Amino acid sequence: MSMASQVASGTGPSSLGLSLLLLLLHLSPEGISGHSASLPPGCLMMGLLKASCQGLGLRTFPTALPLTVAHLDLSHNRLQVLQDNATRDQPDLRHLDLRGNQLEGLAPGSLLPLRWLHALVLAGNSLNRRYVSNSQALWPLSHLRLLDLSANHLESDMVSFYVANRSSLWSLDLSNNLITRLARSTFLGAPKLLDIDLSDNYILQIEAGAFEGLLQLRELSLARNSLHCISDFSLRALWRLNLSFNALQFFATEEGNWSYQLQVLDLSHNQLRAMPTPLALPHLHHLNLSDNRLTSLGPHSPSSPRDPEMVPTQSASDPAADLPELTDLDLSRNQLDRLPVGFLSQLSALQRLSMGWNCLQNMSVQQPGPGPPLLSLRSLDLQGNRIQTFPSWVFEILPGLRALDLGDNELQLCARPEAGRAGPFQGLRQPFGSAFHLKHLSLSRNGLRRLCATRLPPALLFSLDLSGNPGLALVPGDFRGLQHSLHELSLRGNGMASAHLGLPCLWELRALDLSGNQLASLPQSLNCSPSLHSLDLRRNLLQALDTEVLGAHLRSVFLAGNPFLCCSLGWLATLASANVSVPDSEEAWCVYPGGERGSRAPLARDHSHLCNRWQWRGTQAGWVLLAVIGLFLGSCGATALLQNSGKLPWARQLRARPKPEPEHKPTLGRESVVERREPEQK
Ligand SMILES: *[C@@H]1O[C@H](CO)[C@@H](O)[C@H](O)[C@H]1NC(C)=O
Ligand SMILES: *[C@@H]1O[C@H](CO)[C@@H](O)[C@H](O)[C@H]1NC(C)=O
Ligand SMILES: *[C@@H]1O[C@H](CO)[C@@H](O)[C@H](O)[C@H]1NC(C)=O
Ligand SMILES: *[C@@H]1O[C@H](CO)[C@@H](O)[C@H](O)[C@H]1NC(C)=O
Ligand SMILES: *[C@@H]1O[C@H](CO)[C@@H](O)[C@H](O)[C@H]1NC(C)=O
Ligand SMILES: *[C@@H]1O[C@H](CO)[C@@H](O)[C@H](O)[C@H]1NC(C)=O
Ligand SMILES: *[C@@H]1O[C@H](CO)[C@@H](O)[C@H](O)[C@H]1NC(C)=O
């Protein structure tokens, strides 16, 4: 019997001092194994304080765990009822995880011994049953900070029972239940709550004042509910509010000058047709309005058409916004048809803007706004619109732009007849000509076939994505000015043949993605990209790699999906000896020439044996072929000669001899006959 179990089972008061001493002795890493003797089979100690009895099929609360255990994981067992005094042996538990059991009954005294419990996780049980008595079992937990009741089939009225008398509680998780309504009294019992998760319920209605008493509330998630309208949001102390995935058509904050503390507001995936009003959130830095129905950023005011005096001073589509700290704005997946230049110019701290998947189309119709340039914007996502012309004034009002994503548009870069030098289309022919600070540009999936000497952003361009433009053909001149800046280039999925891949020397190139093309050889220009370290060649038509053109810094190359020749893999050995890794070598294959079925084999395998045999059989086939030709020619000649003379000595020989083994057929002329004979002579 180990000393630990003596401690655990020691009862007499006289032995208490000794037990404590022994216990202290055991507070060393070597003592852990001693403790585990008293653990239920399958439980693990993780350090001195944590025990995990996860997924062991336990039906009762384990007894006689080490006294040191403060954190007990009993998740995913089969506890159904927690009996009175069940937790008697663990009075010092701080954290108890009972997630994923089948709990439906908590006897009134079941948690009574856990005076110091801080966190109780009851997620994924059936505490909707007997909720009145079960909730009373929680009353003694006077130090409870965190209570997780998610996924317990709880309905609205049951919640107030569990929340009653929870004045110590800071964090409450009620997500994934069946709540439809929050009453004014729901959270009265837990006035010190800092965060509440109510996501994944069916909340339709929130009574006014439901959160009023919660003066310290900082985080609230109401995501994935059925809310239609928030007409006077008044939680001024809140930092984070998540209202995503509801059915909101309207969101309005309260008027007044005690400012909101809100920093993160997620309104994505709703049905908003207008911006929240009034938009004065001085500490907001993240606003997500993705996936709504905004057609303009104008305020939602049905009265304005009737009241011409109400027309906003700026412009109908640009509401006044007081968002001085906003850095991230997501307007993607709406129905906006123009860049809201006036609105954006009020956002002095904005760094990242997404307007992907909207209805931007002809950006040249829009004239630059009057406002000052928006200096702070670093990243602009315009993916998935229908932009055909991209005017250069965008870079004039966004001089600090570093990353621009124009993927999934219909950009036309080649000269159009009306695009004169001085006309309204000035700047359209060289849209990127003034993008002096742009570092990342994506022109992926635009149906581009030529770049037509478009001046790509000069000087600083670091990465360029031209992937997904099937049929693209490049000439070295397309990369004018980029030879010393471009580090990353993607030409993935363009179906380009080697002849259409006109790359100049890209001296600084580090990563090149050429996957999904029709290359039969590596571009020779790679030999002037000495720093290249990552190369993706998947899904091409390569039979071998010319390692001569690859620089010394290459670290990884992806190769799967090429018809490499199994019997000329010398280059693979060269790569290996240069420490170049082939991360997808398991998926790469090669072919044995000869085209038989099943001649495809994993690239990484050792092919020497099969290749020797193949070479042998190859020569064999050659011999047979030559023999047949020789035989044919010979017999033709012979018949011709025989018709003439019929007495040439070798013709007679030929007839007289028995048919030789095909591989010994002497058809290659004298030398090979001699060669073949040599082994026989040995
Ligand atoms: C629980 O423990 C207390 C004190 O040890 C004891 O008085 C009480 O009878 C126990 N209750 C049950 C139901 O075992
Ligand atoms: C709070 O708990 C006490 C016992 O600790 C109980 O008497 C009281 O009824 C409870 N109050 C509510 C509102 O449930
Ligand atoms: C809001 O909740 C949704 C759904 O739970 C989640 O995906 C999203 O990340 C949350 N938003 C924020 C800003 O945390
Ligand atoms: C607004 O703030 C001023 C002082 O800053 C105060 O006198 C006034 O009462 C406040 N108004 C409201 C509606 O809170
Ligand atoms: C905005 O919300 C959408 C949907 O919930 C999400 O996909 C997107 O990543 C969010 N945007 C940001 C910037 O977090
Ligand atoms: C874009 O707008 C201009 C000015 O209104 C117009 O002349 C041009 O035809 C439009 N281009 C396209 C492709 O719609
Ligand atoms: C390859 O890597 C091994 C171990 O990581 C190292 O010892 C060896 O020097 C490397 N060889 C080359 C050519 O870099």
Give me the number of domains the chain comprises.
2
The residue to mutate among 330, 333, 353, having the most atoms of ligand 5 within 8 angstroms of its beta carbon, is 330
pLDDT of residue 234: 85
| Any ligand 4 atom below 6 A from CB of 370 | no
Q: What does the pLDDT read at residue 340?
A: 85
Residues 126 and 137 in one domain: yes
Residue 237 lies in a domain: yes
Same domain assignment for residues 277 and 160: no
Mutate to test the pocket of ligand 2, among 141, 158, 165 (most ligand atoms within 8 A of CB): 165
- HSE-CB for 525 with a 13 A CA cutoff: 16
Nearest to 184 by CA among 154, 163, 201: 163
**Ligand 5: centre distance to CA 654 (Å):** 84
Q: What is the DSSP string of 338-393?
A: S--HHHHTT-TT--EEE--SS---BGGGSPPPSS----S--EEE-TTS---B--TH
pLDDT in tens, 339-380: 888 888 889 999 999 999 999 987 766 666 556 778 799 999
Query: Does residue 639 or residue 272 have the better pLDDT?
Result: 272
H or E stretch at 575: helix 570-577
| Nearest atom in ligand 1 to 85's CA | 1
Q: Which CATH number do you get for residue 159?
A: 3.80.10.10
Here the tokens at position 632 are 């044919």
Ligand showing the shortest atom-to-Cα distance for residue 360: 6
Residue 624 has pLDDT above 60, yes or no: no
Residue 549 lies in a domain: no
Out of 226, 252, 279, pick the residue that ends a domain.
226
Nearest ligand, measured from the Cα of 138: 2
The ligand minimizing its distance to the Cα of 225 is 3
248 and 262 belong to one structural domain: yes
Tell whether the model's pLDDT for residue 425 goes beyond 60: no
**Residue at 522 is within a domain:** no
Residue 199, pLDDT above cutoff 80: yes
Letter string b/e over residues 355-393, b meaning 16 or more CB atoms within 10 A of that residue's CB: bbbbebbebbebeebeeeebebbbbbbbbbbebbbbbbb
Q: Do both 163 and 272 map to the same domain?
A: no
In degrees rounded to 5, what are phi and psi of residue 499?
-65, -25
- Please report which confidence band the pLDDT of residue 38 belongs to, taking 50, 70 and 90 as the band edges: low
Beta strands 600-602; 589-591: pairing state = antiparallel
If asked whether residues 254 and 189 sit together in one domain, one would say no
Residue with token string 């179990």: 5
CA distance 14 to 317: 83
Q: Is pLDDT above 60 for 670?
A: no
Kindly report the average pLDDT of the chain as a whole number: 81
Cα of 439 to ligand 7 centre, how many Å?
A: 34
Number of DSSP helices (H) and strands (E) in the chain, helices first: 11, 33
* Final residue belonging to a domain, choices 211, 226, 241: 226
Residue 608 has pLDDT above 90, yes or no: no
Which residues form the domain of 253? 229-298+320-337
Q: Which of 544, 522, 546, 664 is nearest to 593 (CA)?
A: 544
Question: Are 221 and 234 found together in one domain?
Answer: no
Say yes or no: 67 and 155 in one domain. Answer: yes
Query: Cα(500)–Cα(200) distance, rounded to whole angstroms?
Result: 52
Give the mean model confidence (pLDDT) for residues 96-105. 95
Say if CB 340 and CB 314 are below 8 A apart: no
218 domain-assigned: yes
Residue 4's pLDDT is 38
Which range among 69-73, 200-204, 282-286, 303-307 shows the weakest confidence by mean pLDDT? 303-307
Does residue 217 sit in the same domain as residue 241?
no
The pLDDT of residue 7 is: 35
pLDDT of 424:
43
What is the pLDDT, as a whole number, of residue 321? 78
Please report whether residue 422 resides in a domain.
Answer: no
DSSP tag of 277: B
Q: Which two tokens stand for residue 288?
A: 């997500």
Residue-wise pLDDT for 227-237, tens only, equals 999 988 888 89
- Report pLDDT for 392: 81
Instruction: Let me know if residue 251 belongs to a domain.
Output: yes
Does residue 644 have its Cβ closer than 6 Å to ligand 4? no
526: closest CA among 489, 563, 473? 489
Q: How far apart are CA 287 and CA 117, in angstroms?
A: 37
Indicate the residue type of 653. Answer: Q
pLDDT recorded at residue 648: 32
Residues 206 and 241 reside in one and the same domain:
no
CA-CA distance, 489 to 320, in Å (whole number)? 41
- Per-residue tokens: 385: 């619109």
Least confident window among 32-46, 240-254, 539-553, 615-629 = 615-629
CA distance 628 to 586: 42
Question: What pLDDT digit, counting tens, does each position of 507-557 carry?
Answer: 999 999 999 999 999 998 998 999 999 999 999 999 999 988 888 899 999
Same domain flag for 46 and 157: yes
Distance CA 103, CA 119 (A): 17
Q: What is the DSSP letter of 315?
A: B
8, 147: one domain: yes
| Domain finish residue from 337, 367, 401 | 337
Kindly tell me if the per-residue pLDDT of 333 is higher than 70: yes
**Is 84's C-beta closer than 6 angstroms to any atom of ligand 1?**
yes
Structural contact between residues 401 and 426, judged by C-beta atoms closer than 8 angstroms: no
DSSP 225: S
CA dist., res. 220 & res. 123, Å (int)? 18
pLDDT for position 641: 45
Tens of pLDDT, residue by residue over 305-331, are 333 333 333 344 456 778 999 999 999
* Residue 663 pLDDT level (bands cut at 50, 70, 90): very low
Pocket test for ligand 1, best of 85, 90, 111, 112 (most atoms within 8 A of CB): 85
Domain shared by 217 and 248, yes or no: no
Residue 90 lies in a domain: yes
Residues framing ligand 2 (Cβ under 6 A): 139, 164-165
Residue 173 in any domain: the answer is: yes
Rounded distance between C-alpha atoms, residue 677 and residue 33, angstroms: 77
Residue 255 per-residue DSSP state: P
